[in-house]
Structure 1
Amino acid sequence: MTDDKDPLPGSVRRHRERRERWAREGERPMGRNLALIGALGWLVIMPTLAGLFAGRWLDERAGGGIFWTAALLFAGVALGGWLAWNRIEQER
């Protein structure tokens, strides 16, 4: 009496596959994990800072306010998050 909507068999299968892959390949080296953390930091920070500085420059040219700073800061954070997400997916 199995239900097609039951997530348990899929979860058990994924857990078994992960365990088998770990037994074959072992754990990733600590240096590789640290390098990934550093790369993710740069992938998020650089677009954020670029958006911040470009926004400040545009706001100074437009006569004050924070419209462009806020908009481009948000866009930089969104871009950085998307880049980090893609990098994590590549590592899988």
Structure 2
Amino acid sequence: MTAPAPTPAPSPLPPDDHAPLRRGIAARRRSPALRAEGERTFFRSLGMIGGLGWMIVLPTLGGLALGRWLDARLGGGLVATGALLMVGLALGCRLAWLRIHQP
């Protein structure tokens, strides 16, 4: 007597679920804008990440420095430092957000 053949394991997703994604990727690769610009290299992506980091860090540090200076002049503890630190952080995040979504 022979053992029955093992049945293949079922796929977690039906193969048809991947078809729209594949078509979208293929259309994007064929787009004239991507061909003219070319795909972004690893180092260009790394440079963009670094630039976004500086866009967030510089306004944050500027708010921190201005807040410390105001607190030293006015003697208000750390009230202006904390407030301007948050304002600088919010401004930096907004600038980075606008840069990412720039056409």
Q: 1:82 aligns with which of 94, 97, 102?
A: 94
Task: Name the CA shift for 1:34/1:85 in 2 (closer, same or farther; >3 Å).
Answer: same
Say which of 44, 47, 57 aligns to 2:59. Answer: 47
Structure (1 or 2) with the greater helix fraction: 1
Q: Which residue of 1 aligns with 2:16?
A: none
Aligned to 1:21: 28
Count, aligned residues? 79
Q: TM-score, normalised by structure 2?
A: 0.66
Report which stretch shifted further, 16-25 or 33-42.
16-25
Q: State the TM-score, normalized to the length of structure 1.
A: 0.73
Q: RCO higher in 1 or 2 (8 Å CA, sep ≥ 6)? A: 1
* Structure 1: runs of 5+ lacking an equivalent: 1-11
Paired letter, 1:22: R
The answer for unaligned runs of 5 or more in structure 2 is 1-18
What is the alpha-carbon root mean square deviation over aligned residues?
A: 2.3
Kindly provide the amino acid, as one letter, of the partner of residue 80 in structure 1.
Answer: G
Matched AA of 2:29 = W
Same amino acid, percent of matched pairs: 51
Larger radius of gyration: 2
1:64 shift after superposition: 3.8
Letter in 2 for 1:37: I
- In 2, the alpha carbon distance for the partners of 1:85 and 1:70 equals 23
* CA separation of 1:67 and 1:28: change in aligned 2, threshold 3 A: same
Q: Which letter maps to 1:57?
A: W
